[in-house]
Amino acid sequence: MTLLAERTEAGTLRASSSGDKVRLLGWVQRRRDHGGVIFVDLRDRSGIVQVVFNPDMPEEAFVRAERLRTEYVVSVSGSIRKRPEGAENSNIATGEIEVVAETLDILNGAKTPPFYIQDNVDVDESVRLKYRYLDLRRPEMQAVFKTRHQITQIMRNYFDSRGFYEIETPILTKSTPEGARDYLVPSRVHPGEFYALPQSPQIFKQLLMVSGMEKYFQIARCFRDEDLRADRQPEFTQLDVEMSFVEVEDILPLMEEMMARIFAETTGKTVQTPFPRLTFNEAWERYGSDKPDTRFGMELVDVADEVVNSGFKVFTDILAKGGRVKGICAKGCATMPRRELDGLVNFVNTYGAKGLAYIVLAEEGVKSPIAKFFTEEELSSLISRMRGETGDILFFVADKDKVVGDALGHLRLELAKRLNLIQEGTLNFLWVTEFPLLEYDEEEKRYVAIHHPFTSPMDEDLPLLDTDPGKARAKAYDLILNGVELGGGSIRIHRREVQEKMFTLLGLSPEDAISKFGFLLEGFEYGTPPHGGIAFGLDRLVMLVAGRENIRDVIAFPKTQSATCLLTQAPSAVVGKQLKELSIKTHIIAASK
RNA sequence: GGAGCUGUGGUGUAGUGGUUAACAUGCCGGCCUGUCAAGCCGGAGACCGCGGGUUCAAGUCCCGUCAGCUCCGCCA
């Protein structure tokens, strides 16, 4: 029998198997040498068990046990026995028993690791990333990747049982305009030409609908060469789905059930379906966000009609110029120190707000730098509109619509964090629907697609494309969980004349459209079914299921914020021969100061 | 492209401009037969991220730079 064939997992051992002979394979978590008896905590993927080495065992094995050090890889045979009375350890699952060693083989030694292989390790993340293989040995990291595996398995089973095909699409593909910056791969065979890594399988999955695959999914790697954030990596994974002959009402329930299943089978939590829905417009007005966190209130309140006739010129001027004045009511914040208030002013500055007005409803009366601009009646009317009570602070931002929403939306989240308003464990799913189709880009002096250029307008808004394209809404939807955008999708355009109109609006001439998307447009002419789909950020989903705050924690070998890999030192220079084969000469243009 | 925070033995931290840079843990050696963060004794281990500057004197002050993190811009 092979070692592996006779092996028992350490973490599974219980008192019920006392007396059994076992073979353990794993790593030395810790050694406690009492001179006579030696205790070794042996760790494998399943957990930890205490192994006892006694001087009365064969001398050869005991001598080896004295040589053991942290992270040595060992094979131990022995028998399970209940621990002596009083020596049980309730902190570990196997704490009622121990394994009395009979033989010990050191399969491999190990250098002392730079940090403890245990949970909640207090070590700089860059050290963890450099020694990622050790970091991943830690039980909490093992648990994350078990969860990640379970989630993808559930997805595969779910779609398989509903008749979806899992189909792979190219990694080496064509650079297309619109969207994020592409990662490029030089072609050796075609000097001076480049492949692009896919930002998503978008075009291919639509072509698969033209191909008559009808139901497709893929757990697909995507690449975007943009700056990183705590929830953004340059390469990430999407659950990508596309279906033919669908409408919005086919897709959303399908995804709701999948989410419910994922949470039920991984965390045991029940997810209520169907999920609530908000239109984009409502989300923006009430939460200042297209991905509102609905786990707490503190909604934005439009106070334009309360202040429009006041003597406060800052507000009235902005309203006269077509801007907005909105506020939020922070419950119980009246005792917030002045310094913290000033900090919040700086906070909203980040989002373009030039100021943050506030009214403190203190026990001793209203305190506010702006109160003097309002009459007694105006002030009390404003306070009651905001549902302000003694002990609260009212915050106001006046600016362009975009700035007001951004600033107050983020302030709302920041205050919720500081005031601890979010109950742990809550799962608030939310669909945001009826996104605008287009957005006018001041810099490029043209419309750009909010979702992507293949998103279908809502039927009733089709005429708007000719009259007021910025007002047209799309058959697009995003799934939000606890204020995190998990994914989004749309029903696609499948009629050529609509697609052409869309390209025109995006400033693409018919010639441009053909040179950039010709293969797709041509494909669409051969009998394209109505189709639509959705894509989810798998990494973000795993983050939320596993309760992690950082996307790097759910990716086995992630990149740093500057898109490097501390483990492999990628990216790196290559030898001249490689460049020559690619017909590439590098010429580093110094960053301008 | 911009803003902020951090950088001191392997790891985590302390360190009014002034001796030999301190503590914990880990590591090495010794003692020790019921520990589980074992214990006790001893030892090794740092040119304070890097480069300038100010000063009689810099881990400490100034400038620059690099790295990590968080955020803005960016991310259909």
Enter the DSSP assignment of A173: B
Euclidean distance between CA atoms A468 and A472, whole angstroms: 7
In percent, how much of chain A has pLDDT > 70?
99
Could you tell me the distance in Å between the CA of residue A203 and the C1' of nucleotide B44? Answer: 62
Closest nt by CA–C1' to A476: B76
Could you tell me the distance in Å between the CA of residue A350 and the C1' of nucleotide B3? Answer: 9
| Residues with Cβ within 8 Å of residue A72, at least 6 apart in sequence | A27, A28, A106, A108, A109, A110
Could you tell me the distance in Å between the CA of residue A134 and the C1' of nucleotide B26? Answer: 16
Closest CA to A93 of A59, A54, A49: A49
Q: Which residue is nearest to nucleotide B6 (CA to C1')?
A: A124
Query: Rounded mean pLDDT of A224-249?
Result: 97
pLDDT at A126: 95
Q: Contact A557/A563 with Cβ under 8 angstroms? A: no
pLDDT at residue A76 greater than cutoff 90: yes
Query: Rounded mean pLDDT of A342-366?
Result: 93
Euclidean distance between CA atoms A505 and A447, whole angstroms: 6
A324-330 sheet: strands from edge to edge? A301-302, A324-330, A393-399, A357-362, A365-367
pLDDT at A444: 76
pLDDT at residue A98 greater than cutoff 60: yes
> Which nucleotides of strand B lie under 7 Å from a protein CB?
1, 10-13, 26-28, 31-39, 67-76
Enter the DSSP assignment of A380: H
pLDDT at residue A460 greater than cutoff 80: yes
pLDDT at residue A178 greater than cutoff 90: no
Could you tell me the distance in Å between the CA of residue A125 and the C1' of nucleotide B6? Answer: 12
Average pLDDT of chain A? 94
Rounded to two decimals, what is the model's pTM?
A: 0.95
Closest nt by CA–C1' to A89: B36
Query: Which pLDDT band, with edges at 50, 70 and 90, does A593 fall under?
Result: very low
Could you tell me the distance in Å between the CA of residue A121 and the C1' of nucleotide B12? Answer: 10
pLDDT at A590: 58
Could you tell me the distance in Å between the CA of residue A224 and the C1' of nucleotide B71? Answer: 20
Could you tell me the distance in Å between the CA of residue A548 and the C1' of nucleotide B9? Answer: 32
Which position has the higher pLDDT, A120 or A187?
A187
Torsional class of A569: left (φ above 0), alpha (ψ -120 to 50), beta (otherwise): left
pLDDT at A424: 87
Query: Rounded mean pLDDT of A398-423?
Result: 94
pLDDT digits (tens, 9 = 90+) for A193-229: 999 999 999 999 999 999 999 999 999 999 999 999 9
Could you tell me the distance in Å between the CA of residue A90 and the C1' of nucleotide B38? Answer: 16
In percent, how much of chain A has pLDDT > 90?
85
Closest nt by CA–C1' to A350: B72
Closest nt by CA–C1' to A200: B76
Q: Looking at A161-170, A268-277, A459-468, A505-514, which range is the least confident one?
A: A505-514
pLDDT at residue A179 greater than cutoff 90: no
Closest nt by CA–C1' to A453: B76
Query: Which pLDDT band, with edges at 50, 70 and 90, does A441 fall under?
Result: confident
Closest nt by CA–C1' to A92: B36
Q: Which residue is nearest to nucleotide B68 (CA to C1')?
A: A126
Closest CA to A415 of A340, A319, A515: A340
Closest nt by CA–C1' to A563: B68
Q: Which residue is nearest to nucleotide B27 (CA to C1')?
A: A112
Could you tell me the distance in Å between the CA of residue A74 and the C1' of nucleotide B16? Answer: 53
Which position has the higher pLDDT, A507 or A413?
A413
